[in-house]
Amino acid sequence: MAAVFQGLGAATAFSVSNSLDSRKFLVSSRKSLSARKASFPVVRSDGSVVPRSNARVRRAEQLITNAVATKPDSSAASTTSKPGHELLLFEALREGLEEEMDRDPHVCVMGEDVGHYGGSYKVTKGLADKYGDLRVLDTPIAENSFTGMGIGAAMTGLRPIIEGMNMGFLLLAFNQISNNCGMLHYTSGGQFKIPVVIRGPGGVGRQLGAEHSQRLESYFQSIPGIQMVACSTPYNAKGLMKAAIRSENPVILFEHVLLYNLKERIPDEEYICSLEEAEMVRPGEHVTILTYSRMRYHVMQAAKTLVNKGYDPEVIDIRSLKPFDLYTIGNSVKKTHRVLIVEECMRTGGIGASLTAAITENFHDYLDAPIVCLSSQDVPTPYAGTLEEWTVVQPAQIVTAVEKLCQ
């Protein structure tokens, strides 16, 4: 156990073992890149340096060809020989949660329908039977007060995980999250820690309507004192859940309604992802594409097309929405000199807007072109399927934007 956690201090998020067989190997779509120059080593986000080899063995990447639906592992032929186990994203969250609850009796869950019902997205299924009603607490529909309750309990030393059935409902608890959760450590001069995790699904789903398709990361991002992370794969979902629970700071973990059924093989051994690190999804050279949560899959879909057209995008899943991992992002900008941000937040005041400002402030000299930010339209999410599709960034738009950027 100690070996795995040492990784935390040395800034790595990923599994320490070098047997990355647990990750899918991506070979087929890279054949067209043989002409590329590879004169410098790739710096992975775990800090280790992977010298480019002619064999082009790409490690630690994952290409999900379809944005949402579950696809069986493409190299499933040798499943039995691969280490690790396969599961869906919500099961990964549950695994992380269960491991942490086993490890520390102070960890408890509270939210609507998390207990007997098992969670509206099955993240907490079975936990109430195992840990009892007090540790997996079914609350009445009173977001303001149960969020406040979780924060008050955290002041005494408990580590509650507060689930919002949909992130949008947490708007009712905004006062508690902003004033009490974010600021108490500061206004008490460091006396109180608020080690809560506030999690829940957000984002645009399948015709859920305007009020159930909100992206709260843009509202919460200026609250001082909180950390925000967004998970996108089963691997980082489990890792970020565990890291968030162990963190002494209040962490808001953004999940996405449409990603709960993603399947992936994750390691058997215990691991944690760093809360402040971004994930290098696909190293490249021509353009840096920054994204998070569900848009990662739209980007990867667009990347396939781009690669066929001869571009080499570098895709980074920023994961940490507050604070931004400007180290990884900066290294990428210095390499490619072009940035495209693809996000699901609204155009105005979203994560993309802040990220654009941060990159411009810090890396302006390295940019060859203005930063392009693709976000959702500034409209309430409509119900009609076609309209809903148009509010959110689609892969075709990403391809067009990259082509334009790389001219």
Partner 1 sequence: MALAHLASSSSRSNLLKPIFAALSSTPSLRCPISSAAADNTKTLTIETSVPFTAHQCEAPSSLVDTTPEELLTFFRDMATMRRMEIAADSLYKARLIRGFCHLYDGQEAAAVGMEAAITKKDSIITAYRDHCTYLARGGTLLEIFSELMGRQGGGSRGKGGSMHFYKKEAGFYGGHGIVGAQVPLGIGLAFAQKYSKDGTVAFVLYGDGAANQGQLFEALNIAALWDLPAILVCENNHYGMGTAEWRAAKSPAYYKRGDYVPGLKVDGMDVLAVKQACKFAKEHALKNGPIILEMDTYRYHGHSMSDPGSTYRTRDEISGVRQERDPVERVRKLVLSHDLATEKELKDTEKEIRKKVDEAIAQAKESPMPDPSELFTNVYVKGFGIEACGPDRKEVRAVLP
Determine the Cα–Cα distance for residues 178 and 223; give it in Å rounded to an integer. 6
DSSP-derived secondary structure letter, 147: H
Collapsing DSSP to helix, strand or coil, 257 comes out as helix
Q: Select 243 or 299, whichever has its Cβ closest to partner 1.
A: 243
**Residues contributing to the site for partner 1 (CB under 8 A):** 8-11, 108, 134-135, 139-140, 142, 144-158, 175-176, 179-180, 184-193, 195, 224-225, 227, 243, 246-249, 274-277, 323-324, 326-327, 330, 358, 361-362
Q: Select 118 or 250, whichever has its Cβ closest to partner 1.
A: 250
Choose among 327, 262, 298, 323: nearest CA to 43: 327
Q: Select 364 or 404, whichever has its Cβ closest to partner 1.
A: 364
> Would residue 212 show up in a list of annotated catalytic residues for this protein?
yes
Query: Which residues are registered as beta bridge partners of 43?
Result: 49
115: number of Cβ within 10 Å: 23
Query: Which residues are registered as beta bridge partners of 289?
Result: 315, 340
Check 91, 95, 143, 344 and give the catalytic one. Answer: 143
- Dihedral of CA 380/230/62/120: which sign? negative
User: How do strand 320-322 and strand 227-230 relate by DSSP bridges?
Assistant: antiparallel
Check 91, 185, 212, 285 and give the catalytic one. Answer: 212
Determine the Cα–Cα distance for residues 109 and 101; give it in Å rounded to an integer. 9
In sequence order, the 6+-apart residues with CB closer than 8 A to the CB of 276 are 227, 320, 323, 325
Q: Select 67 or 275, whichever has its Cβ closest to partner 1.
A: 275
Choose among 325, 318, 310: nearest CA to 254: 318
DSSP-derived secondary structure letter, 221: T
Amino acid at residue number 284: G
User: How do strand 227-230 and strand 263-266 relate by DSSP bridges?
Assistant: unpaired
Q: Select 135 or 265, whichever has its Cβ closest to partner 1.
A: 135
In the complex, least distance from residue 365 CB atom to partner 1, rounded to whole angstroms: 12
Determine the Cα–Cα distance for residues 125 and 91; give it in Å rounded to an integer. 9
In the complex, least distance from residue 309 CB atom to partner 1, rounded to whole angstroms: 33
In the complex, least distance from residue 380 CB atom to partner 1, rounded to whole angstroms: 25
Q: Select 41 or 323, whichever has its Cβ closest to partner 1.
A: 323
The CB-side HSE value for 52 (13 A sphere, CA atoms) comes to 14
Catalytic positions, please? 143, 212
